[in-house]
Structure 1
C-alpha cells in the first residue's frame, strides 16, 4: 500500500476529515493524535471516478497521481461544503479507507532526526583510553617515549610530516609533549577516537594542505611556536631547530629557493637564531622571489638576514660567472 514515511509528522492535534453526520468519537479509530500518514488516491481506485464525475466543481478535482493527506482531505471538504453531491462523494472516500491502515504504519523513532549527527559523534571515553595507553607514568601527559609508541602504532616515524600535522591539530604547546587536554580536545575536534580513524584523518588533512594555502599558512605559523622551548621562555628559534623544521614543514611543497637558503644558514655559524618575523616573512619571501633571486628588491622592508642571503648568492653567482669567463679565455 503506497505511503511515504518521510511525509509523517508529529502534531499536537490531528486534522481529521469528517462529514456532518459522523460523530467525532467514531473518527478516533481512524486517525491517531500523534501521526497523520499520507494516503495515495491510487491506493483506492473506487474513489477516483467519484472525484472525476463532478467536473463542474473545479475545487473538488484532485489528480489521482497526487498525494492526498489528511490536511488535503480537510481542504477539499471545506471547498466542497456548498456542493451536496461532492460532500457525499467525500463521505464515500472516507468510508473506503480501512481503519486498520493507519494502525499498521510504524512510528518514526525519536533517534531518526539525529542519524546524520550520530555518524560524526566520537567517544570521549575511547579517547581517554588512548591517552592512558601512551601517557607517562609520572605525569599527566604523553612524553617522548609515549609519542614514539603512538607514532609506531600509527605507522609513522616521529619526524614525519603527518606527526607535525597531528601536533598542529592538537595545538600542542611544545615538542615531545601532548597534555591530556590537548590530546582529548584535539582528537574530538578531528572527530577521531581510534588509531585507524586518526590515520585516515591525518592522510585526509595532508591532502587538503596541498590545496588550501590558508590552512598551510596556519600550519607554518604554528610550526615556529611548536619549536620553541616554552619552559625557558624562549622567543627565538635556534638555527639548527629552525633548519629541521623548515625541511619538515615544506615536505610536500618545497620552494625552489629552500635548499640554497638552508645551505646558507648551515654555512654561517654566526646566524644563531631565527626570530618570529623572519620565520613568518620567509613564506612571503619564497612567493616573491620565485625560482631565483632576480626579482628581489633590497629597498623593501625585508629582514636583514634576507639581504645578507641575497648578497651572498649574488656573489656566488658572480664568482661562477668569472670562473667561466676565465676558462673561456684560456
Structure 2
C-alpha cells in the first residue's frame, strides 16, 4: 500500500471514526477521492453506530427550549454550549447549524433538532460531543461538506428581512470559516487546467495573508453590505486563484467586488 493511500485511510478514519476495513472499501469504491468517499459513507448511513431515540431528543429539546416559545433561543443555546463544553463562537457550531437546519443564529426548531441529530445518530449530550469532533474534522478537510456549511451560513447569519450581510457580520463569519478551510485543506488550491507559467511559490494559492487583504479591502471600500452572490462566489474564487492573482479572468462572471479586489491586490503586490 502506498504512502498516499495510507494517508487517505488515516484521514478517512479520523473524520468518520470508521474502521480501516470500511475506510478502504469506500476509498476503493470512489477511486481514492476522499470527499466523495466520505459523502457516500454518511449518505449510506455508515456514520451511524446507533439509532437515535426521538423521545430522548424531544426531552433534550424541551430542556433547552424557551419557556415562552416553541424554539430554542439564545438562552437555551448558551446552556447547550455549556453542556457540550464548546465555545458559542466555535466554527463547529456552523456545521451543527447546517445539520439541524437552524434558520438563524441562536435559534433551533424542534423538527430540525430531531431530524438533524437523528441523522447524526445522537440522542445524548455525550453523543453530541462526539459528533462535534467528527463534524469539526469533516468541515476542515472535506471541500464538498465545507461548501454546504458555507452556503448555509449566509442565510443563517443574515438579519431577517435583509438581502445582504452587514460587512462586519460577513467578516466575523469569514474569520471563522476561511482559516478552518485553509488549515484543513477544504479550501486547497487546485492548479488543474491552468496555463499560467508559475513557480511553486507563486502557484501556492490563497493564504491567511490574502484573507486579511480581503478584510482590509472590504473595510476600506465600505458599502452597504456583502451580497449573496459575492459570498457564494468567494468560495470558488479562493480555490481557483493563484497567490499572485495572475489567473483571474476579468471577463468571467465574477461579482464586481471580487474583480475590484483583484485589481486592489495586484496593485499591492506590484508596489
TM-score (normalised: structure 2): 0.69
Counterpart position of 2:71: 141
Counterpart position of 1:239: 167
RMSD between superposed Cα atoms in Å:
1.9
What's the offset of the Cα at 1:263?
A: 1.6
What's the offset of the Cα at 1:184?
A: 1.7
Deviations 1:106-143 (A, max 9, x none): xxxxxxxxxx9x95211111111111111111111111
- Secondary structure, in 3 states, of the residue corresponding to 1:274? coil
Matched, 1:184 2:117: no
Matched, 1:264 2:217: yes
Aligned length: 200
Counterpart position of 1:199: 129
Using CA pairs under 8 Å that are at least 6 residues apart, name the structure with larger relative contact order, 1 or 2: 2
Looking at structure 2, the residues matched to 168 and 282 of structure 1 have their Cα atoms a distance apart, in angstroms, of 19
Deviations 1:38-96 (A, max 9, x none): xxxxxxxxxxxxxxxxxxxxxxxxxxxxxxxxxxxxxxxxxxxxxxxxxxxxxxxxxxx
Matches for 1:270-281 after TM superposition, within 5 Å: 271-281=223-233
Looking at structure 2, the residues matched to 129 and 304 of structure 1 have their Cα atoms a distance apart, in angstroms, of 49
What's the offset of the Cα at 1:287?
A: 1.4
Gaps of 5+ in 2: 1-45, 183-205
* Structure 1 segments (4+ residues) deviating >3 Å: none
Counterpart position of 1:127: 57
- Secondary structure, in 3 states, of the residue corresponding to 1:305? helix
Q: Which has the larger radius of gyration?
A: 1
Could you tell me whether the CA contact under 8 Å between 1:238 and 1:272 is conserved in 2?
A: yes
Counterpart position of 2:195: none
Counterpart position of 2:20: none
Counterpart position of 1:249: 177
Could you tell me whether the CA contact under 8 Å between 1:278 and 1:303 is conserved in 2?
A: yes
- Secondary structure, in 3 states, of the residue corresponding to 2:149? helix
Looking at structure 2, the residues matched to 261 and 139 of structure 1 have their Cα atoms a distance apart, in angstroms, of 40
Counterpart position of 1:297: 249
Alignment CA distance shift 1:169-1:238 (3 Å): same
- Secondary structure, in 3 states, of the residue corresponding to 2:221? coil
Matched, 1:165 2:95: yes
What's the offset of the Cα at 1:245?
A: 1.1
Gaps of 5+ in 1: 1-115, 321-330
Deviations 1:261-282 (A, max 9, x none): 112112222x221111111111
